[in-house]
Amino acid sequence: MSKKFLLFLLIEFSILAPINYVWAFDKTKDASCSSQKLKNICLIYNGSTLRRKWNVNDFIPYLIYEDGEKNYISLFDTFLLIEYQTSDGKFFWGGNNDENTANMKDWEWLSNIWESCLKHLNEAVKKLHQKGILKNAIGIIITIPEPDVKIQNFGSIPEDGINLNFNKEMDRISAVRWYVEKIVAHFTSANYDHLNLLGFYWLGESIPQEMEDTVKDTAKLIHQKNLLFFWIPYFTADNVWRWHDLGFDYVFYQPNYFFRGEGGIERLGLTAYRIEKFNCGVEIELDDRVMTSENHRVRFLQYLQSAVYFGWDKKPMAWYQSNDTIFKLYRNDNEKHKNLYRDIAHFIRGTYQTLSNLPPIPEYKIPPRAGKNWAHRDNGTKVIEPSSGFCLSQNPEWAIDGDVDSYSGTSGFACCGIPGEIKIKFANNVVVSRVQMLLFNLDNRYYQYCVEISEDDQKWKTVVDKSQGEHRGWQIDTFPSQSARYLRIIPLFNSTGQHLFQLVELEVY
């Protein structure tokens, strides 16, 4: 789930040892893209009337922590300036139609809205430089809107006069090029002596197939300007595992556990596994509910716990804070809340101690895959697609491709209806005694189902009966050795209420 919608709900109803800083950086590109090392990136929402109007002093507690005895800790070394919507509700990513999706006028507004924020941040850094408290310049990343393919009447670039149609790839890139060049030109002329433009952030938190070429072309444009390209996908986003191929330099993966506890504490272990597999960074998440909800306070502390346990704290990371939660923690009179601000400071410095009363974070592990997997397509096995029922599955054979990592909320798994079936045919009769499968596990859903085998596709025998209970993630079932030419899964129940059964991988031994 995207944080964008959660953020809007919150607004309406009130989100020193040497370190390898270039982790998750594409080292095949020219290392001169940036001489500035980055470690902690703070997202600063700025622009619409829903946002804080940032001034010089607002930024001080983001730059340094002072313990009351003139002892200072340097905090965020990089700021990502971000906005999702205009004050009148036009979206820069995720609009539903022409009326609520940003056009050229809105893009021009966005390109100008950063100036005040940058000016105040530059003055804040200057102030600390002059006092000798801070030494380094601060990195800046600017958001690029997503050129929505649905928009056919975007408007014309100033001094061009030709209406852009975002159905066309060349028009999407024309708009992005104009925007990037305008931002770069502003930085060149503004003389922000204490800020360095590091690069640009792609606003779309998932990248569908129709946007892949646009993202790749945007990456080329940014790299031609000797700048970096950043992305922060949500937990179930498409193409996270392909970030390198898409041209990104840094990617920070959203656990999305903080907001509703989605997936339980196990979500953090699964996040750690996927971060390692995808070779990307993490986004730490908090919002104002850390001050009003004990559940949210604990979840945030579990993020810090996970970061220490899994080593996220040794790598660059992004920090989502809704609008200005960290500032509110700094200004808060409640000792418990001020302690959270102190925890953030010590975490950034590397001196944070995990609370001893927190339960351990469960690690996500792939079960043993010893023996010959008869279900793998390389062994001649085929998925027999029924006349109907494969719903969302672009490729039913995703269930037997051996890939247990590259899947999202909409791709990388086989899917059939309930009622329905997923049936495979082995190349020959085989003797089987174990079935293990990965059920879709990017949220907290559970399933009920049965597994049957047959030698002739007529007479079927049930070998696994999971018609009761809550069955999530990896399932491993053994039974007495039997001969089979066919195997089918009969889904019975999906706890989300969807009449769908999503199977990431099926293995038969």
pLDDT grade for 426, boundaries at 50, 70 and 90: very high
- Angle at the Cα of 323 (from 359 to 300), degrees rounded to 5? 5
The predicted model gives 198-205 an average pLDDT of: 98
258 lies in which domain range? 3-11+34-349
pLDDT of residue 8: 37
Using alpha carbons, select from 362, 313, 316, 386 the residue that is nearest to residue 473.
362
- Rounded Cα distance between 201 and 7, Å, is 18
What tokens appear for 67 in the block? 């313990």
The predicted model gives 320-333 an average pLDDT of: 96
pLDDT of residue 351: 95
Same domain, 297 and 393: no
Same domain, 182 and 292: yes
Using alpha carbons, select from 448, 445, 438, 440 the residue that is nearest to residue 469.
448
What tokens appear for 404 in the block? 């247990």
How many Cα atoms occupy the beta-carbon half-sphere of 217 within 13 Å? Answer: 16
- Rounded Cα distance between 177 and 134, Å, is 34
pLDDT grade for 37, boundaries at 50, 70 and 90: confident
Bridge partners (DSSP) listed for residue 201: 143, 230
Our count of domains for the chain comes to 2
Using alpha carbons, select from 452, 446, 444, 397 the residue that is nearest to residue 421.
452
- φ, ψ dihedrals at 493, nearest 5°: -160, 140
216 in a domain, yes or no?
yes
- Angle at the Cα of 57 (from 351 to 199), degrees rounded to 5? 70
Q: Can you give the CATH number for the domain in which 448 is found?
A: 2.60.120.260
Same domain, 386 and 338: no
Same domain, 219 and 274: yes
pLDDT grade for 70, boundaries at 50, 70 and 90: confident
Strands (E), 180-287: 195-202, 228-231, 250-253, 281-285
74 in a domain, yes or no?
yes
Same domain, 386 and 291: no
- Angle at the Cα of 25 (from 3 to 366), degrees rounded to 5? 70
172 in a domain, yes or no?
yes
- Rounded Cα distance between 335 and 339, Å, is 6
Same domain, 288 and 423: no
* Whether the predicted pLDDT of 29 surpasses 80: no
Question: How far is C-alpha 44 from the geometric centre of its chain's CA atoms?
Answer: 17
Question: How far is C-alpha 426 from the geometric centre of its chain's CA atoms?
Answer: 37
Same domain, 262 and 208: yes
217 in a domain, yes or no?
yes
112 in a domain, yes or no?
yes
Question: Over the chain, what is the mean pLDDT?
Answer: 92
Q: Considering just the CA atoms, what is the radius of gyration of the chain in Å?
A: 25
Quote the pTM value: 0.91
Is the Cα dihedral 239, 240, 242, 243 positive or negative? positive
Q: Please give the single-letter amino acid code of residue 489.
A: I
Same domain, 345 and 303: yes
Evaluate whether 302 touches 284 at the Cβ level (below 8 Å): no
Same domain, 113 and 175: yes
Q: Please give the single-letter amino acid code of residue 371.
A: G
What tokens appear for 169 in the block? 């790839």
Chain segment 337-358, per-residue pLDDT in tens: 999 999 999 999 999 999 999 9
User: 101, exposed or middle or buried, with CB in 10 Å at 0-12, 13-18, 19+?
Assistant: buried
Same domain, 338 and 437: no
Chain segment 487-499, per-residue pLDDT in tens: 999 999 999 999 9
* Whether the predicted pLDDT of 13 surpasses 50: no
Q: Please give the single-letter amino acid code of residue 433.
A: S
- φ, ψ dihedrals at 440, nearest 5°: -50, 125
pLDDT of residue 25: 47
pLDDT of residue 386: 65
Look at 18-32, 117-131, 145-159 and tell me which has the smallest mean pLDDT: 18-32
* Whether the predicted pLDDT of 72 surpasses 80: yes
* Whether the predicted pLDDT of 469 surpasses 60: yes
Which of helix, strand or coil describes residue 425?
Answer: strand
- Rounded Cα distance between 3 and 264, Å, is 17
Chain segment 367-415, per-residue pLDDT in tens: 999 899 999 999 999 999 765 555 555 688 999 999 999 999 999 999 9
What tokens appear for 456 in the block? 């002739």
Which of helix, strand or coil describes residue 328?
Answer: helix
Q: Which residue would you say has higher pLDDT here, 6 or 115?
A: 115
Using alpha carbons, select from 123, 38, 118, 131 the residue that is nearest to residue 81.
118
pLDDT of residue 385: 74
> What is the 3-class SS of 262-309, one letter each residue?
CCCCHHHHHHHHHHHHHCCEEEEECCHHHHCCHHHHHHHHHHHHHHHH
